């Protein structure tokens, strides 16, 4: 079974986890610019929306060459929609495709997607099979049109091809086509822990790269991640030649290395510890100057992409402005900003005061 780029990564592997509303193209670009992780994931995108031609979803897949290897994450329940999305993502030149089987948010799980798939292994198996079919059909030369990809999606992709990996990001020739790996990100259970049984099922469905978050859906993000359970799953994966990544409550690069060693994982994916901290993967404590420069660059790149409302940037600005004298006042000023220029003005005023 194809495991692609994963087998070429140096272990231990420490990557940026997919986070809805957080790992957007601008944030991923900044992380890649200041402390390159071994791998990074996009936010999850709904396959049903893509299948119905909702082109406004596509900018979530914008990526730059410096982010590679970059994996696109999908969620949903319709197998045919997963197939179409898989062909499209292969066409866009992604290094891998990840299926979200772990989101605990009610509006996702209540529709049978995300972590709800833990309770529906028959559908999970069909989804995995469908994505594999899309990957294989792409490698064998199928076109977007023949795969049934919506005309709105095809048009958007062709008009914005340079936004997917740069000028050479979009695969256009059959000779460039290759198999890319499928992975799954999930949780240790739905309302109770069933991690070992669930992992064995996923492995039997053909999953060769697995990430598991150490909480059940019922826990959401409360309590503590259960690393003992994750360690048990790591053993099962090793016995079956499956690459395993654990996720949950890692606070620092040192903590990541300690947990990898203690629990026998191939690596970990880092989520909330990177909020406002794109330097995480260097284990570096940024200077105030570093922090202000990155805020400026983040804002500039965000506005260059120009597809999200400015308001969506403000959570990042809030996360950046912590831990230094005057941070609270700066953060409050950022929350009033309506444009990048407003942010630059706040930083310039702050800089004059501390000189």
| pLDDT tens for each residue of 240-296 | 999 999 999 999 999 999 999 999 999 999 999 999 999 999 998 899 999 999 999
Phi first, then psi, for residue 268 (nearest 5°) are -140, 155
Nearest one of 7, 45, 4 to 267, comparing CA atoms: 7
Q: Are 278 and 294 in contact (CB under 8 A)?
A: yes
Residue 170: which pLDDT band, with cuts at 50, 70 and 90? low
Question: Using N-to-C axis directions, what is the helix angle for 327-334 and 340-354, rounded to 10°?
Answer: 160
Which CATH number describes the domain made up of 4-282? 3.20.20.70
pLDDT at 220 over 80: no
Confidence band for 113, pLDDT divided at 50, 70 and 90: very high
- 149: nearest Cα among 59, 84, 58: 84
Say what the pLDDT of residue 168 is.
Answer: 55
Helix (H) or strand (E) holding 173: none
Q: Where in the chain is the domain with CATH 3.20.20.70?
A: 4-282
Angle between helices 121-139 and 195-204 (to 10 degrees): 40
Residues of the chain within CATH 1.20.120 domain(s) are 288-354
Q: Is the torsion defined by CA of 173, 176, 178, 183 positive or negative?
A: negative
Protein fold of 288-354: 1.20.120
Percent of the chain as helix, strand, coil, to the nearest 5: 50, 15, 35
Which pLDDT tens digit goes with each residue over 142-162?
999 999 999 999 999 989 988
Question: Please, which residues bridge with residue 234 across strands?
Answer: none
């Amino acid at each position: 079974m194809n495991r692609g780029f994963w087998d070429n990564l140096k272990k231990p592997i420490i990557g940026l986890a997919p986070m809805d509303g957080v790992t957007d193209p601008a944030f991923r670009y900044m992380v890649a610019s200041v402390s390159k992780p071994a791998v990074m994931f996009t936010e999850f995108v709904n396959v049903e929306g893509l299948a119905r031609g909702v082109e406004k979803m596509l900018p979530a897949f914008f990526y730059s060459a410096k982010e590679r290897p970059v994996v696109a994450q999908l969620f949903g329940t319709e197998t045919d929609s997963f197939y179409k999305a898989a062909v499209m993502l292969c066409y866009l030149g992604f290094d891998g495709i990840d299926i979200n089987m772990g989101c605990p948010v009610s509006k996702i799980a209540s529709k049978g997607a995300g972590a709800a798939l833990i309770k529906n292994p028959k559908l999970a198996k069909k989804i995995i099979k469908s994505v594999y079919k899309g990957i294989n059909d792409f490698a064998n030369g199928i076109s977007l049109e023949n795969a049934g990809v919506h005309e709105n999606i095809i048009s958007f992709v062709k008009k914005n091809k340079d936004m997917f990996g740069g000028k050479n990001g979009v695969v256009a020739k059959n000779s460039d086509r290759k198999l890319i790996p499928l992975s799954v990100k999930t949780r240790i259970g739905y309302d109770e822990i069933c991690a070992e049984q669930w992992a064995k099922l996923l492995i039997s469905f053909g999953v060769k790269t697995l990430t598991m978050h150490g909480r059940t859906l019922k826990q959401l993000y409360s309590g503590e991640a259960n690393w003992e359970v994750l360690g048990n799953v790591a053993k099962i994966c090793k016995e079956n030649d499956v690459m395993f990544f654990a996720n949950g409550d890692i606070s620092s690069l040192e903590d990541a290395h300690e947990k990898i060693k203690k629990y026998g994982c191939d690596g970990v994916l880092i989520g909330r510890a990177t909020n406002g901290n794109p330097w995480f993967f260097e284990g570096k404590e940024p200077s105030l100057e570093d922090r202000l420069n990155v805020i400026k660059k983040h804002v500039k790149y965000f506005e260059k992409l120009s597809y999200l409302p400015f308001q969506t940037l403000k959570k990042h600005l809030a996360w950046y402005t912590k831990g230094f004298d005057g941070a609270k006042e700066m953060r409050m000023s950022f929350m009033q900003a309506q444009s990048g220029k407003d942010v630059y003005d706040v930083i310039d005023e702050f800089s004059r005061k501390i000189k």
